[in-house]
Chain A
Amino acid sequence: MTSAQIIFIIVAFFTLGSGVMVVGTGNLIHAALWLVSTLFGVAVMYALLNANFLAVIQVVVYIGAIAILFIFAVMLTRKEIRDQGPQLNKGWWLSALLAVLVFSGLAAMLWGWEGMSRTAAEFPSGFDSMSELGTALISPNAYVLPFEVASVLLLAALIGAVYIAFNRK
Chain B
Amino acid sequence: MVPLSWYLIFSAALFSVGLFGVLARRNAVAILLGVELMLNAVNVNLAAFWRYLDPVKMGGQVFAVIVFAVAAAEVAVGLALVISVYRQRNTVVADEIDMLKW
Q: Which residues of B contact A66 (CB under 8 A)?
A: 36, 71-72, 75
Given contacts A54-B65, A103-B12, A154-B72, contact A165 B1 (CB under 8 A): no
Within 8 A of A (CB), among B12-60: 12-21, 23-27, 29-30, 32-34, 36-37, 40, 43-44, 47-48, 50-56, 58-59
What is the bound-complex CA distance between A53 and B61, given in angstroms?
9
In chain A, residues 127-157, which have Cβ atoms closer than 8 Å to a Cβ of chain B? 127, 129, 132-133, 135-137, 142-143, 146-147, 150-151, 153-154, 156-157
User: What's the tally of chain B residues with a CB closer than 8 Å to chain A?
Assistant: 75
Q: Which of B15, B64, B79, B86 gathers most chain A CB within 10 Å?
A: B79
Interface pair A99/B37, CB less than 8 Å apart: no
Question: How far, in whole Å, are A142 and B51 apart by their CA atoms in the complex?
Answer: 18
Contact residues in B for A28 (Cβ distance below 8 Å):
27, 29-30
Which residue, of B29, B84, B90, has the highest number of chain A Cβ atoms within 10 A?
Answer: B29
Sample 30 A-B pairs with CB under 8 A, ordered by A number.
A19-B17, A19-B37, A23-B17, A23-B20, A23-B25, A23-B34, A42-B14, A42-B40, A46-B47, A49-B7, A51-B47, A51-B61, A51-B64, A54-B43, A54-B47, A73-B79, A77-B83, A87-B26, A87-B27, A89-B26, A95-B19, A96-B20, A98-B20, A99-B17, A106-B16, A110-B12, A117-B3, A120-B2, A129-B55, A156-B73
Q: Which B residues are closer than 8 A to A by beta carbons?
A: 1-10, 12-21, 23-27, 29-30, 32-34, 36-37, 40, 43-44, 47-48, 50-56, 58-59, 61-62, 64-66, 68-77, 79-84, 86-87, 90-95
